[in-house]
Each structure stands twice: as structure tokens, then as C-alpha cells.
Amino acid sequence: MFDLAIVRGFVYRSGDFFRENVYIKGGKIAAVTSEVLEAREVYSADGLWVLPGFIDPHVHFSLRVGKWTSVDDFFSGSVSAAFGGITTFIDFIDPVKSVAEMEEAFKRRLEEAKSSVVDYAFHATIASPTDAPGDIASKAKELGMASIKLFTTYSSSNRRTYDDYIEELLRLSSEMEFVVVVHAENDEIIKKMEGKNVPPKDHSRARPTIAELSEVLKLAAMAKYHKGQLYIVHISSGITAKEIWERYGDILGLHLITESCPHYFWLDESVYSREDGKLFLMTPPLRSLDEVETLRDYFDAIVTIGTDHCSFMRKEKMEGNFTHGIPQGIGGVEFSFSLMYTLFGPGVIDKFTKNVAKVYGLYPKKGVIEVGSDADLVVFDPDERWFVQSHHSRSDYDVYEGLELHGRVITTLSKGRFVVKNGEFVGEKGWGSFLEREAIRWL
Ligand SMILES: [Zn+2]
């Protein structure tokens, strides 16, 4: 006898849809078949899609940055995520310099994350590291964080990691089995404006596309040379995606993984000139309409979609006059899949599921509907048209408000348990668990 059956849906497996029933036992997928088997509880997904739970590789809940803390904690953030079909997310520990600091930062984050309603993992974050790359990598892996995030910029706030260090990490990444996760902007180009009085309307000019492009190409060259494991977060511009496709297409998916976020596909820099333009401030900035179009054209050059969810209150965003006095980041964890599905259709599914699971050492536990995998499932209505009107984040605004989207998450299950059922939250605080990732090997 199975615990639960999700019946009559179109089940997404190996890139196709099959009219099958999914049977769950002990939180795992126990059978996927067109046969009708006995189960204690039956949920009808008649005519709807049954997808693997989505994985958001990039969120910032309770992020402490300067005098601010992002408003969604692990509870509200994970609830909002679950409404968007996200059953696993990867957050970050606070930036550390040393092995000793990493241990502390990890414990602190683990405590904060306990309230999550879905599963989660962490990236280790380093800033101006003082311990050797190999020691940092060993410790991160031991703590179950085989992905190490760093910044190539922010030297003005002492958070930059320099090329010699990054190069060494990339050299070690394949043999030691970890991923180098990089926020890539050229510090030399940016720093003349950083900390200066940049009004929101000049945000994109102060952190220009060329700063991203030049840094990404340099890192890609290092990753190719060392056959490393390089993951570039939040690619903001179409030109960067295009250049990667044309120059480094041969290592894409092998030694280089690219991530972008829904806002770079939906919004352009013209919003920064609006009276409420501050509400749209994030780093890297939104780009020109031309670049948004190019990014859409080169969607194939993007392997995963993360939200970089980092929400603040309207008042916090509107208070300062210049970009350095305004907390950077927007929400969006709840709408990411529908936003991308509206633009690209079912081709987005793998970028939210299998691709992310493989890149970050979660496959086949997550990201796929197969016997033995966790029963993390999304029931999705591909035909519903709806308007973004309300959300479950603690923030009091949403940059996507009023947009008409296609396709909607109806029900979300985490480890065989309903978290959102027919649009209602039925989850449990603390249901989520920490996912250890001790080694990641792409090839
Ligand atoms: Zn981020």
C-alpha cells in the first residue's frame, strides 16, 4: 500500500510528458506507472502537469548587508518559494576569510534555516580569504557545501577575491570535486563609481555591461584552461550570454555553467528613471531593452535559473537618494517559474530541475521524477492565465505586480507531503532539511 498517489497527470520524465500515476511511500517516489495501484490518499492531477520540484540555486533569506537585513527569513521565504513550486533552494553562509570563520558561519546559518518548510542547502561564501584555497575547499566540503561563492568585485568593502586565488580554486575544483561560484564584475571598471553618489537612474552606467562581460570571459578562459568547474551567477546582459555561446560554447555544461534571473528577461533599465525606480535596484543592474532582447535570443546559453531573491520593504528601498544608500535586491522567488514559462514554454523545466540538481550535487535525489528520488513534486496548470496580484513574501511590494502570466503552480509537495495544496498553504514550519553536498563532479 502506497501513502499517496498523484493520478492522471501528465508526468514530466526524460524531457517528455506521459499520462501516468506517481506513487509515493515514505517520502520517496515508489512507482511511476499507468497502472492503478492502491494508495491511502489519492490526489487527482487530471489534465495538469506533474513536474519535479523546482530548485532555486540562488536566494538570500535573512541576508545581513550593511545596516539592513533582507525581510524574508527562512520561514516566509520558503513559504513564498513553495507557492512558486520551489521545493529546494540554495542560500549562502555569511562571507568568511578563514576555515575557522566558516565553521561558525555555517552553524549560525543552519540554526536560522531550521524554520524552512522545504529542503535547502548552502553555498560557502568567501571574501578576502586568508587561508589557502585548498584548505577552504576541504572545509567547505566537510561541512556539506561543495560550492564556494566569491566576488570578483567589492574591493571597496573588502569583499573581493583576487585572480591568483580564483585561478588556484579553479585548478583544484575538478580534482577536489567542488564548484567555484562567481559573482563576476570587473572591479577596476566599477570601483571608480562605487561608494560615490550614483543616482538610481545611473545604476546601469556605474556597473556597465562591459564590467560583467570582460570578467566573465577571463574566468571562462581560466575554467577552460584548467578544465575546472566554474558557475557564473546572475548573468544580466544579453551580450554576455551571446559571447559565452560563441566563444565558450564548447565548455558550456562541462566546465562552465551559466545562471540568469527572471528580472533580466522581463525588465529593462528604463525603470530606474521612474519615480519608484529605487524599488528595482539590484546588482548587477537591469540592462537596456536591446540587451534584454539579446538575452532572450540566447536563452540556450543559460543553463540554470535562480532568482537572487533578496527582498526589502518599500520604505527601505525608497529612503536613500543614491544607490549605495539603498539596499540592493528584489524578491521574486514565488513567480520565477511562471515568469520564465510565459516567455519560453516547457523548455524552461530542466533549467529549474535536472540541470540545477546535476550542477549542485543533488541528483538524482532531487530534480527528477524517478523511483527512489525524493517525492518533491509540482502540479502545474500550463493553460491558466493570471495576473500577479498578491504574494507570500514579507515584502510589501513586488516588481512583477500587474503582469499577466501563463501557467500556474497549483500544488507543491516536499518529500511526499503537501506544502501547498490547491493554492492553500498546508505546510509545516521546520519540515525542510539541510542537504549535504560533500563532493560535486560534473564529468
Ligand atoms: Zn545573490
Q: Is residue 433 part of a domain?
A: no
Q: Is residue 397 part of a domain?
A: no
Kindly give the distance from the C-alpha atom of residue 6 to the centroid of ligand 1, in angstroms, as a whole number.
35
Q: Is residue 105 part of a domain?
A: yes
In terms of residue numbers, what domain contains 118?
A: 54-359
Percentage of the chain exceeding pLDDT 70? 100
Can you point out the beta strands (E) in 45-93? 49-52, 54-56, 64-65, 68-69, 86-92
- pLDDT, residue 193, reads 84
Residues 64 and 162 in one domain: yes
Kindly give the distance from the C-alpha atom of residue 59 to the centroid of ligand 1, in angstroms, as a whole number.
6
Report how far residue 22's alpha carbon sits from residue 271's, in angstroms, rounded to the nearest whole number.
44
State the residue for C-alpha cell 505586480: 401
Kindly give the distance from the C-alpha atom of residue 33 to the centroid of ligand 1, in angstroms, as a whole number.
40
Kindly give the distance from the C-alpha atom of residue 150 to the centroid of ligand 1, in angstroms, as a whole number.
11
Distances (CA, A) of 142 to 99, 109, 138, 177: 11, 16, 6, 12
Report how far residue 128's alpha carbon sits from residue 351's, in angstroms, rounded to the nearest whole number.
31
Kindly give the distance from the C-alpha atom of residue 44 to the centroid of ligand 1, in angstroms, as a whole number.
37
| pLDDT at 51 > cutoff 90 | yes
| pLDDT at 138 > cutoff 80 | yes
- pLDDT, residue 192, reads 82
Kindly give the distance from the C-alpha atom of residue 58 to the centroid of ligand 1, in angstroms, as a whole number.
6
Residues 27 and 160 in one domain: no
| pLDDT at 65 > cutoff 80 | yes
Kindly give the distance from the C-alpha atom of residue 372 to the centroid of ligand 1, in angstroms, as a whole number.
32
CATH number at residue 205: 3.20.20.140
Cβ-based burial of 431 (10 A; exposed 0-12, middle 13-18, buried ≥19): middle
Q: Is residue 353 part of a domain?
A: yes
- Residue 194 pLDDT grade (very low, low, confident, very high; cuts 50, 70, 90): confident
Kindly give the distance from the C-alpha atom of residue 343 to the centroid of ligand 1, in angstroms, as a whole number.
23
Task: Please choose, from the candidates 347, 355, 408, 404, the residue with its C-alpha nearest in 3D space to the C-alpha of residue 378.
Answer: 408
Report how far residue 395's alpha carbon sits from residue 29's, in angstroms, rounded to the nearest whole number.
35
CATH number at residue 33: 2.30.40.10
Kindly give the distance from the C-alpha atom of residue 344 to the centroid of ligand 1, in angstroms, as a whole number.
23
Residues 375 and 299 in one domain: no
Q: Is residue 70 part of a domain?
A: yes
Kindly give the distance from the C-alpha atom of residue 199 to the centroid of ligand 1, in angstroms, as a whole number.
22
Q: Is residue 236 part of a domain?
A: yes
Residues 146 and 214 in one domain: yes
Residues 421 and 336 in one domain: no
User: Average pLDDT, stretch 333-352?
Assistant: 98
- pLDDT, residue 232, reads 99
User: Average pLDDT, stretch 409-413?
Assistant: 99
Cβ-based burial of 227 (10 A; exposed 0-12, middle 13-18, buried ≥19): middle
Residues 42 and 116 in one domain: no
Kindly give the distance from the C-alpha atom of residue 60 to the centroid of ligand 1, in angstroms, as a whole number.
7
Kindly give the distance from the C-alpha atom of residue 29 to the centroid of ligand 1, in angstroms, as a whole number.
32
Q: Is residue 400 part of a domain?
A: no
| pLDDT at 260 > cutoff 90 | yes
Sign (positive or negative) of CA dihedral 404, 407, 411, 414: negative
Residue 8, CA atoms < 13 Å, CB-side half-sphere: 6
- Average per-residue pLDDT for the chain: 97
Kindly give the distance from the C-alpha atom of residue 99 to the centroid of ligand 1, in angstroms, as a whole number.
22
- pLDDT, residue 196, reads 84
Residues 12 and 28 in one domain: yes
Kindly give the distance from the C-alpha atom of residue 346 to the centroid of ligand 1, in angstroms, as a whole number.
26
Read off the pLDDT of residues 421-431 as tens digits, 9 standing for 90 and up.
999 999 999 99
User: Average pLDDT, stretch 142-155?
Assistant: 97
| pLDDT at 195 > cutoff 80 | no
Length of the chain, in residues: 443
Kindly give the distance from the C-alpha atom of residue 28 to the centroid of ligand 1, in angstroms, as a whole number.
31
Kindly give the distance from the C-alpha atom of residue 13 to the centroid of ligand 1, in angstroms, as a whole number.
30
Residues 90 and 166 in one domain: yes
Percentage of the chain exceeding pLDDT 90? 97
Kindly give the distance from the C-alpha atom of residue 43 to the centroid of ligand 1, in angstroms, as a whole number.
36
List CB contacts of 83: < 8 A, sequence separation 6 or more.
334, 391, 392, 409, 412, 420, 425
- Residue 141 pLDDT grade (very low, low, confident, very high; cuts 50, 70, 90): very high
Task: Please choose, from the candidates 115, 38, 20, 120, the residue with its C-alpha nearest in 3D space to the C-alpha of residue 76.
Answer: 115
Task: Provide the 3-class DSSP secondary structure of residue 43.
Answer: strand
Q: Is residue 441 part of a domain?
A: no
User: Average pLDDT, stretch 193-204?
Assistant: 89
Residues 191 and 141 in one domain: yes
Kindly give the distance from the C-alpha atom of residue 428 to the centroid of ligand 1, in angstroms, as a whole number.
27
Kindly give the distance from the C-alpha atom of residue 218 to the centroid of ligand 1, in angstroms, as a whole number.
21
Kindly give the distance from the C-alpha atom of residue 128 to the centroid of ligand 1, in angstroms, as a whole number.
17
Residues 131 and 6 in one domain: no
Residues 69 and 174 in one domain: yes
- Residue 206 pLDDT grade (very low, low, confident, very high; cuts 50, 70, 90): very high
Residues 43 and 144 in one domain: no
| pLDDT at 156 > cutoff 90 | no
Kindly give the distance from the C-alpha atom of residue 280 to the centroid of ligand 1, in angstroms, as a whole number.
15
As for how many domains the chain has, the answer is 2
Kindly give the distance from the C-alpha atom of residue 5 to the centroid of ligand 1, in angstroms, as a whole number.
37
Kindly give the distance from the C-alpha atom of residue 310 to the centroid of ligand 1, in angstroms, as a whole number.
8
Report how far residue 274's alpha carbon sits from residue 397's, in angstroms, rounded to the nearest whole number.
16
Residue 28's identity, in one-letter code, is: K
Kindly give the distance from the C-alpha atom of residue 165 to the centroid of ligand 1, in angstroms, as a whole number.
21
Distances (CA, A) of 303 to 367, 377, 435: 14, 21, 22
**Model pTM?**
0.98
Kindly give the distance from the C-alpha atom of residue 308 to the centroid of ligand 1, in angstroms, as a whole number.
5
